[in-house]
Amino acid sequence: MDFVATNCLGRALFSPIFALPDRPANNARFVFLHEDESRPFYVDWEQKARDIVATLRGSAGQRPHDRKLRDLIGELVTKSMTFSSLWARHDVRFHRTGSKRIQHPIVGELELNYEAFDVSSDPGWHMFAYSAEPHSASDERLRLLASWAATPDNESETQLANRLTATPASTDDRPASSGPIQ
C-alpha cells in the first residue's frame, strides 16, 4: 500500500495522500487513519476499505514474516476500529483490474479504470496504471489535472482554472491520454 514511485500525474491524482505527513505515503493509512480526508476522496469508500483489508489479509498470508507488513497491520488494528472490525472478517481478495471512483479536490469526480502489473524483478511489488474512458467527462478532467500538475508551483489553482477555461483546447490538439502510474 506504499507509494514508492509515481509520475507527475499520479502524484497530482493522489495529492490528498501525499499532502499528509505520513511517509512513505500509504493508501491503507490514508483510508483508515485519515477518514475525514479519505471518505470524501473515495466515492465508494466502504468498498475501498473492504478491498484494502482483504488485500492486506492476502498479503499477510503470503508473507507471514514480513515485519513491515505486520507493523502496518498492527498499527491499523490498534488505531482504527473500522479496520479492526473488517480485519476480523478474514476476507481475502487479490484485485488486479477494476475501476475506481474518486472525488478529486481540484477537478471533481473521476471514474478511472486500473490495471495492476507485477514487477518481476521485485516479487511483491506492483505497478498500477490508471486511465479514463476516452472522450468521457473523466478523460476531460484527467487532462485538466495533467495540465494543473504540469504548471509551475507559483500558479495558484484559481489562476490555473481561469487560464484553462479561458482557452479550451480543441480535441485535435490534445495529446493521447495516459494515466498516472502508482
176 pLDDT tier (thresholds 50, 70, 90): very low
Q: Looking at the domain assignment, is residue 2 inside a domain?
A: no
Render pLDDT for 44-59 as a digit per residue (tens, 0 to 9): 999 999 999 999 999 8
* Cα–Cα distance, 127 to 60 (Å, whole number): 19
Q: Looking at the domain assignment, is residue 175 inside a domain?
A: no
Q: Looking at the domain assignment, is residue 1 inside a domain?
A: no
List the domain range (segments joined by +) for residue 109: 8-166
CATH of the domain at 155: 3.30.450
How many structural domains is the chain composed of?
1
For the whole model, what pTM was predicted? 0.80
pLDDT at 164: 43
Render pLDDT for 99-124 as a digit per residue (tens, 0 to 9): 999 999 999 999 999 999 988 888 77
Q: Tell me the HSE value of 152 on the side-chain side, using a 13 A CA sphere.
A: 2
